[in-house]
Amino acid sequence: MRYLALLACAFLVACGGSGGGGVETSPPLGPPPSGVVYVQAVPPGTFPDARLGEYREIGPDGYVRVRDDLLGNHMLATRTIAHELGHALGFDHRPGTGCIMDQDAYQTPNVIPCPAEASLAVNYPGVTLAVYVGLTPDLLTRTNSAVSVWNQAAGRTILAVQ
């Protein structure tokens, strides 16, 4: 239980969120020029702060990186990956909404897009992003779940796990 509380506290600064209404650093937004996103699990301590995941573009490709210690918690891992894939789709933070793209909404016990996010997914104008997943145990399962969230909201395939 204490472990989950620590993870929950860490999510307050996930993805550049301030956790206290302070100045927020905007993450890079996709889609990546290549249309390819790699999802990777990284060890705790990889990020310079307590964030749980990040999206960044390196060259023409997008990279979603999540801490590997999240993968044992299906909901938190899926929500974190869905949030970062949202950035790969070009979606920005939606503070205070309790939605997937609200970087402070780790406590929400589901990964269901709110109507505003569903609208973003339906109106996503880009190409279908090819998502490649690392070999870390449970990463593929969590990524498939996160991809399904956005594809169901869009009513079509906007992310395809390869």
The listed range with the strongest mean pLDDT (84-88, 95-99, 134-138) is 84-88
Does residue 24 fall inside a structural domain?
no
Does residue 62 fall inside a structural domain?
yes
pLDDT tens-place string over residues 92-112: 999 988 899 998 887 777 898
Q: Compute the average pLDDT of residues 63-83.
A: 95
Does residue 85 fall inside a structural domain?
yes
Burial label, 33 (beta-carbon count in 10 A; 0-12, 13-18, 19+) = exposed
User: In whole angstroms, what is the distance from residue 31 CA to residue 89 CA?
Assistant: 5
Does residue 7 fall inside a structural domain?
yes
pLDDT tens-place string over residues 109-133: 789 899 999 999 999 998 999 999 9
Does residue 22 fall inside a structural domain?
no
Identity of the amino acid at 146: A
Query: What are the DSSP calls for 120-140, one per residue?
Result: HHHT--SPPEEEEE--STTHH
Model confidence at 26, pLDDT cuts 50, 70, 90, reads low
Does residue 53 fall inside a structural domain?
yes
Mean pLDDT of the chain: 85
pLDDT tens-place string over residues 148-160: 999 999 999 999 9
Q: Specify the pLDDT at position 15.
A: 56
Structural domains of the chain, count: 1
